[in-house]
Structure 1
Amino acid sequence: MNFDLLKNATQHDRCEHLHDSGTNFDKTIPKSPLSNGTNRQSTSLITTPPPPVKPRLRSTSTRVTRKIDLQQLNRCSQTCHFTLPNVENETWLALASSNEHVLVGGGNSNKLRLFDLQGKELREIEIKTFAAFDLAWSKSLNAFLIAGYDCLQMYNVENNQLIPVENLNFTNKKDNYFWSIACHNNDLFVVLSDGLESIWRLSLPNFERKQTLSGGEIRESDVDDRISCIRTNGYLVGMTLRQRATYQWRVDLFDYTTMTRTHRGLTIGCGNGSFNFIERCMLTPVDDHQWLVIGGLQVKPNALTLMDDRTGEVKQVLRPTSRQEEFIANVCTSENSKRELIINMMIIDNKSGERQIHIVHQ
C-alpha cells in the first residue's frame, strides 16, 4: 500500500485506502517525502514593519535525537493510562502537559480538568470562554496557556489562578478565535480564526507581537482549506493543513526565524470534511528533528506517524486490528526532571465514546 507522501508541483494529491485493514502496517520511506519550497511574498498586516527576529545560531551537532519505539507506542503497551470522566458532546479534547501535570480541555465545554501523571484528577477549572480550542505549556511563564474564543488565558497550577491576557490588539476583526498555539522559550506562536486568518509570533512574558503573517501566506489558496495545528521544536515550526478538494491532511515545516516554508508534503490521511473543530490533525515535536503526527478522529488510515525532518525518513504504523475504532485524537510531549520524554496521547473509542489518556516515558 502506497501513501502519497511525496508532494511537488507536478503531483496531484490522492488518498489510497487499505485493502486489508487487519494487517499491522509499518512502512519506512528512506527517501525524503518533504519537498523544499518557499512562501509567497510576505504581506504583513502590521502597518509598521516589525523588528527583525534574531536568528538562533545553534550548532546542529548539539541537537537532541531520541529513539522512539513507534510500534510500542502505537500498541499503547507499557503505558500508564486513565479514563476521563464521561462528559456529553465532548467529541474532541485539547491536551497539554508539563513535567508534572496534564491539562485537558473539552471541545464543547467551558471547563478544564487537571491531572497528575498518575491519572489522579486534581481539580476542575472553569474558563471564561465556551471552549478550549488548544492548550500549551510555557516553561518561561511556568503556566499553561489556553486558546479559546475571543480570549487567550494563562493558568498557574501552583496558585490555582486563571489570568486573561490583555492588550492583544486585533488588526483583523475576524481574528476572534485563538485556534492553535505553541510555545518555545520566550516565543508564542498563535493561529487565529480557525486557521483561516492570521498567524502571530508573540514575545513572552509581555505578549508583544513581533511577527504577523496572513493565513494566505501559509495556506496555498488553490489547494488548502485551513490550518489545524501549529507546533515548534525551536528550529522549525510545523503546521498541519487540510486540502480543500480531497480533505487530505498534510504537514508543512517552516523556518523558525523567517517563517518561510522549508518542507512541503507528507500526506497523513483523508478526513470526511467535518468542521475543523471536530476533525483535526495534530502533531508534536519529540526532539530537535522528529515529529509525531496523528490524523485524528475518523481520519483514514487510522495510524500513528513519525517523521524526521533531517533525514526525510517517515514511519507510519496502523492502529492494531482490535483497535481500529480507537482513534488517537490528540498528542503532546514534555520532559521531566530526569530529561525523559513524556508522550501523552488522547484516545477516543468511536463506538463507546470512552476517552483515555495514555502516558509513556521514553
Structure 2
Amino acid sequence: METNIDDLSFHLSALKTTSSEIPILDNREPISTFSLPSMSSCPMAADGSNHLLVYHHHALLLFHLPKFELLFSISLIPFIENPISDICYYSILNCFLVSSSNTLYSLSSSRQIDIIHKFSNTIWSITHTSNYIFLCYLFGFSIEQWEFNSSNGTLLNTWPKANLIESSDMGINCIRAVNQYIGMTIKQNDFSWRIDLFDISAMNRLRRGRTIQQENNLKNWIGLLYPIDHFRWLFADGDQGLFLIDQTDQQEYKQIDIKKLACNICLIKNINSKTYSSIVIQSYESLHLYNLQ
C-alpha cells in the first residue's frame, strides 16, 4: 500500500544541491581521470573525506580525490574468495562495508579486513542509514534491516519480495538509502527499469516510479542508483546513459539526461557547505571526476 509523503514528518536532507547543480556532462572535460580497463559496473563508494573505494579484478583500490591518488590496493585472495557484490561507507564504525556471497566484511583505514556477519542468503546490494544496515538478497528475494554493535548484529525486520514489488516485476537490483528513505531499482518484465521509493520504518511504498525505457530493446542489467536527496536520484544504466530522476512532484516526474555512458556513479560532498562538489562516473575503461561547482 502506498503512503502519502505529505503525512510524514521526518527530518529531510540538509543538502542544498539543486537539479541545476548536476549539469549535462557530455560536453564537459573531467578534472581528473584514472584508467581501469575492463570495468562494468564495478562496486564503489565514497566516504566523507574524499576517499573512494573501488572493487576491480579481485582487488580493492582506495583512492584519494580529486586526483585519483592510489593510496593502496589489496588483493582479496585469500581474504575473500567470491566477487564483491556491493560497497557502502558505514559512518557508525568509520569504515567501508563490503559484501561478498553471504558475508559482510569491514575494511578499515588500516587496511584490515574483518568479517562483520554471515547471513542466510547471497547478498545482492547493501546500504546504510541512521543506525541501520539494509541487505537486499538475490535480486530482491528479500530485504532485511539489521542493527550492529561492537560484538553482534540484530535482525530487526524482513520484507519478502512479494511485499515490495509487483507480481509482473522481475526483481530488485540496487538499494540506496538517504535519511528515512530507500530507493530501489526494479527490473520490470519488459526489461525496462523504474525507481520506487519506500520509507525505512515499515517499507511502505511512497512513490511508484515511471518506466525508464531502454533504446533498441537492449536488455541492460546495470541499473545502479545514487541519491541526491529523498526524491531525486541519479540512475546509471551503462551505455543507456546517466539520468537524473526527479520524483518530487508525484504528478509530474522528470527525467534529465546527464551523460551518454555511466556504469556507476558516486557524488562527493563538500563538508563545509553541505553541497555536492563533484561526481565520479565510471565508464568501461576509466574513472572520471567532474566538478559540479
TM-score, normalised to structure 1, is: 0.69
- Contact 2:266–2:280, Cα closer than 8 Å, also in 1: yes
Distance 1:70 1:224, change over 3 A: farther
User: Are 1:298 and 2:220 matched, yes or no?
Assistant: no
- Contact 1:231–1:238, Cα closer than 8 Å, also in 2: yes
Per the alignment, residue 127 of structure 2 pairs with 182
Per the alignment, residue 36 of structure 2 pairs with 85
CA distance, structure 2, for counterparts of residue 307 and residue 102 of structure 1:
26
How much has 1:218 moved relative to structure 2? 1.4
Within a 5 Å distance, the mapping from 1:110-259 to structure 2 comes to: 110-118=58-66, 119-127=68-76, 128-157=80-109, 159-166=110-117, 168-170=118-120, 175-176=121-122, 178-193=123-138, 195-205=139-149, 206-221=152-167, 223-244=168-189, 246-259=190-203
- Contact 1:65–1:289, Cα closer than 8 Å, also in 2: no
State the structure with more CA Rg. 1
Per the alignment, residue 266 of structure 2 pairs with 332
> Letter of the aligned partner of 2:238 in structure 1?
L
| SS across alignment from 2:19 | coil
How much has 1:123 moved relative to structure 2? 1.0
| SS across alignment from 1:219 | coil
How much has 1:179 moved relative to structure 2? 1.0
User: Are 1:105 and 2:69 matched, yes or no?
Assistant: no
Per the alignment, residue 225 of structure 2 pairs with 283
Identical pairs, percent: 23
User: What do the CA deviations read for 1:56-112 (whole angstroms, capped 9, x no partner)?
Assistant: 96456x8544213366253373753312332x5x43311100122011113xx3211
CA distance, structure 2, for counterparts of residue 202 and residue 342 of structure 1:
31
CA distance, structure 2, for counterparts of residue 208 and residue 263 of structure 1:
29
| SS across alignment from 2:201 | coil
User: What do the CA deviations read for 1:25-83 (whole angstroms, capped 9, x no partner)?
Assistant: xxxxxxxxxxx837xxxxxxxxxxxxxxxxx96456x8544213366253373753312
| SS across alignment from 1:69 | helix
> Letter of the aligned partner of 1:261 in structure 2?
R
Per the alignment, residue 355 of structure 1 pairs with 286
Distance 1:180 1:138, change over 3 A: same
Tell me how large the CA RMSD over aligned residues is: 2.6
Within a 5 Å distance, the mapping from 1:262-273 to structure 2 comes to: 262-270=206-214, 272-273=218-219
> Letter of the aligned partner of 2:291 in structure 1?
V
Distance 1:154 1:359, change over 3 A: farther
- Contact 2:96–2:108, Cα closer than 8 Å, also in 1: yes
Distance 1:103 1:69, change over 3 A: same
Number of residue pairs matched?
279
- Contact 1:64–1:289, Cα closer than 8 Å, also in 2: no
More deviation, 262-271/181-190: 262-271
> Letter of the aligned partner of 2:266 in structure 1?
C
How much has 1:342 moved relative to structure 2? 4.4
CA distance, structure 2, for counterparts of residue 311 and residue 147 of structure 1:
34
Gaps of 5+ in 1: 1-35, 39-55
How much has 1:288 moved relative to structure 2? 4.1
Gaps of 5+ in 2: none
- Contact 2:144–2:155, Cα closer than 8 Å, also in 1: yes
| SS across alignment from 2:195 | strand
TM-score, normalised to structure 2, is: 0.84
User: What do the CA deviations read for 1:126-167 (whole angstroms, capped 9, x no partner)?
Assistant: 23133221110111110111112222111112x11111113x
CA distance, structure 2, for counterparts of residue 143 and residue 359 of structure 1:
25
- Contact 2:102–2:119, Cα closer than 8 Å, also in 1: no
How much has 1:290 moved relative to structure 2? 2.4
How much has 1:329 moved relative to structure 2? 1.0
Distance 1:76 1:160, change over 3 A: farther
> Letter of the aligned partner of 1:284 in structure 2?
Y
> Letter of the aligned partner of 1:266 in structure 2?
R
